[in-house]
Amino acid sequence: MSVTVRSFAKINLGLCIGPLRPDGFHDLRTTYQTIALHDVIRVEVARGSGIEIRCKDPRVPRDQTNTCYRIVEPAMAALGAKGRVVIEIEKKLPVRGGLGGGSANAVAVLLALERVFKKQITAAEKMWIAADVGSDLPLFLLGGTVLGLGHGEEVYPLPDLPSVACVIATPEISISTPKAFADWDRLGAPAKLTASTPSDRMLMCGRRFSAWLSGLSQNKIRTGKALSGVLVARGRGRAENPLLDLVRTGIENDFERVVFPQYPELIKVKRVLEDAGAFYASLSGSGSAIYGLFASRTAAARAVARLRKSGTPAVATTTLTRQQYWKKIFD
Ligand code: C5P
């Protein structure tokens, strides 16, 4: 039996890097948001043993360096299952793009294996397995808008932000996340740039998130409303869209401080998105994907055309609420 899963990508709505911890990870605070852009994963289990990864994209590793490969063993153990696991990856997301493509692929394999064996692993155990394979995996067990703490693996579902038009620019630059973290440390970025310690910055970032979250809990969510309508409402006072509230907290992605100086062409991409009318544009994760959020699909399509004209691959998509994520994942 084979199971097909859509493996949706994520963007980071702000990412604050904290101190390097004794375990080699950095503390971080981020809001993850799933988007409709996805790879397709097919999982089949045959007689025998072993793991085989098939993918036409030569950049995708077929060995244990692939997160899909690494999740099979703990998943099979949790399911009490045996067999030869064949994973086919239809790659559409950029490799090392900061969109969580590899992490999402691995979670898709975990969910597919449950279906193949018609057995459920408890939610808590799935979280353990996912977090053990990589910091960016657990968010894909929630989908929608997700608060990421710890080293990114400690995730909390947030009330969903309304679905908005989104443009993903994918410059052909491959960025290693561990290297980006190491570069951040080498720069001594927080201390030099803001004259505050990493812990101070984390505290500040935490307070901003907390203020935003308290706004969310005061029932300001207008689910299902078109963002354009909300933008119009801005003239009448405080916008009620929680995404705009988040943007107004001054959220930033700290990785921009290390990645942009190394690849100045990325700054230009962000500028094109802003000039094309994005109400927020940012590097996603450690990049090199840059996204822009737009008030309408038309505006997003115009931005895509501008980016392509300037030689940057780009696609228009939308953010996915938790409900949309789970509805479309096995469709
Ligand atoms: O968890 P993941 O496998 O994605 O992490 C890869 C590497 O990225 C880690 O070994 C670490 O060097 C770095 N990292 C980090 N802080 C994080 C997440 C990842 O330093 N919060």
Residue 135 Cα to ligand 1 middle (Å)? 7
Residue 65 Cα to ligand 1 middle (Å)? 14
Lowest mean pLDDT: which of 65-74, 111-120, 233-242, 246-255?
233-242
Residue 184 beta carbon below 6 angstroms from any ligand 1 atom = no
Contact 108, 141 (CB under 8 A): no
Q: How many helices (H) and strands (E) does the chain have?
A: 12, 10
Average pLDDT over residues 209-225: 65
Residue 115 in this model has a pLDDT that exceeds 90: yes
Q: Using a CB cutoff of 8 Å and minimum separation of 24, what contacts does 177-182 make?
A: 177/96, 177/98, 177/285, 177/286, 180/255, 180/258, 180/259, 180/286, 180/287, 181/17, 181/20, 181/26, 181/286
Lowest mean pLDDT: which of 63-77, 138-152, 193-207?
193-207
Q: What is the pLDDT of residue 236?
A: 39
pLDDT digits (tens, 9 = 90+) for 34-46: 999 999 999 999 9
Whose alpha carbon is nearest atom 8 of ligand 1?
A: 178
Q: Residue length, the chain?
A: 331
Residue 193 in this model has a pLDDT that exceeds 60: no
Residue 229 in this model has a pLDDT that exceeds 70: no
Q: At 108, which amino acid appears?
A: A
Residue 287 beta carbon below 6 angstroms from any ligand 1 atom = no
Q: What is the pLDDT of residue 66?
A: 96
pLDDT digits (tens, 9 = 90+) for 91-110: 999 888 999 999 999 999 99
The torsion angles phi and psi of 238, rounded to 5 degrees, stand at -70, 125
Q: Where are the beta strands (DSSP E) in the chain?
A: 2-20, 26-46, 51-55, 84-90, 145-149, 154-157, 165-169, 280-283, 290-294, 314-318
Read out DSSP for 121-158? --HHHHHHHHHHH-TTSGGGGT-SEEEEETTTTEEEEP
Average pLDDT over residues 311-317: 97
Domains of the chain, with CATH numbers? 2-158 (3.30.230.10), 165-322 (3.30.70.890)
Read out DSSP for 162-215? PP-EEEEE--S----HHHHHHHHHHHTHHHHHHSS-HHHHHHHHHHHHHHHHHH
Mean of the per-residue pLDDT values for the chain?
A: 90
pLDDT digits (tens, 9 = 90+) for 289-313: 999 999 999 999 999 999 999 999 9
Residue 18 beta carbon below 6 angstroms from any ligand 1 atom = no
Contact 99, 174 (CB under 8 A): no
More confident residue, 218 or 31: 31
CA dist., res. 294 & res. 280, Å (int): 8
More confident residue, 148 or 1: 148
Residue positions annotated with a catalytic role: 10, 136
The pTM of the full predicted model, rounded to 2 decimals, is: 0.91
CA dist., res. 113 & res. 126, Å (int): 12
- What pLDDT band is residue 240 in, cutting at 50, 70 and 90? low
Ligand 1 pocket test: which of 135, 136, 137 has the largest number of ligand atoms within 8 Å of its C-beta?
A: 135
The torsion angles phi and psi of 39, rounded to 5 degrees, stand at -95, 165
Residue located via tokens 């067990």 = 141
CA dist., res. 230 & res. 316, Å (int): 21
Contact 305, 298 (CB under 8 A): no
Residue 222 in this model has a pLDDT that exceeds 90: no
Residue 124 in this model has a pLDDT that exceeds 90: yes
CA dist., res. 206 & res. 115, Å (int): 38
Residue 23 Cα to ligand 1 middle (Å)? 10
Q: What is the pLDDT of residue 205?
A: 85
More confident residue, 74 or 210: 74
| Alpha carbon of residue 234 to chain centroid | 28
Average pLDDT over residues 214-240: 49
More confident residue, 247 or 125: 125
Q: What is the pLDDT of residue 195?
A: 55
